[in-house]
Amino acid sequence: MISVPADKDYRMMDEIILGKSEIEELSLKAHPLQAWFVEAHPEISFDDCFSLPLPYLRGFHDAFLCYKKEGAHSKGFATASFETSLHDPWFYCHFPGDPVMPGSQGQDLIFQLAGLWATLRAEVIGRPRALEGNFNFHGQILPTSKKIFYRMDVKRSLKKLNLLFFDGTVAVDDPDNIIYDFHDCKIGFFTKEQLGIHQRANEYYQPDWNHLKETMNDAIDQSKNYYDRNGKK
């Protein structure tokens, strides 16, 4: 676990390395850096604190964040990777008989990495939202793939406007085997009031958790039945 001394200004760190355990803690908003962030900005709550998705939509196991004048545009960059598995959740549902990671998943993950870079050093404050960008897909990620590589290169960071502009790539099995590329992307960061949200999350999001589990289990069973049925032909 990364520890942040009380007298250390985290915004002054030029490089940050996050391992699998740190990524998991960030997704649960249980990392000491998030506690530091909320303490440094008493006007926000943990709902507003930067985060990553839980495993179903979290697509990298580690990350390297560079804030030096390096990268494609000498404004900083970030890289991340993910070791794929037959048990990755997108393969069983997308699609039966044609398991492939959604291209939109890779697109979302580049924006996740950009949001992590922008907020982890408290450069910007707010809830991240993808705004625009150009992208090209010329490859695919299959259950036979072994590893995914992500890269995000900062083009401009407008702190006062809470905006980040960047390019990005996704590669499979080799960092040079690029299958998605993203250009002129923009991500913004907003207060909950700017987003029209006026409640705490647990006030407007109250699902039936047992029903949610049943729905997920039913979908897994349906996928299994498909492969069992068609594997006999």
Give the model confidence (pLDDT) of 25-68 as tens digits.
999 988 888 887 788 788 888 888 888 999 888 889 999 999 99
**Residue-wise pLDDT tens digits, 161-179:** 999 999 999 999 999 999 9
**C-alpha separations of 148 from 80, 92, 143, 218, 232 in Å:** 8, 18, 12, 29, 32
As a whole number, the mean pLDDT across the chain is: 90
Q: Could you tell me which residues come within 8 angstroms of residue 171 by beta carbon, excluding any fewer than 6 positions away?
A: 148, 149, 151, 177, 178, 179
Q: What residue segments make up the domains of the chain, in order of their start? A: 10-197
More confident residue, 151 or 34: 151
Mean pLDDT of 77-102: 95
Question: What pLDDT score was predicted for residue 11?
Answer: 62
Torsion 175-176-179-183 (CA) sign: positive
Mean pLDDT of 76-93: 95
Q: Is the pLDDT of residue 218 over 70?
A: yes
Can you give the pTM of this predicted structure? 0.92
Per the structure block, which two tokens stand in for 77? 């960059």
The catalytic residues are 94
Question: What pLDDT score was predicted for residue 53?
Answer: 93
Domain 10-197 has CATH 3.40.50.2300: no
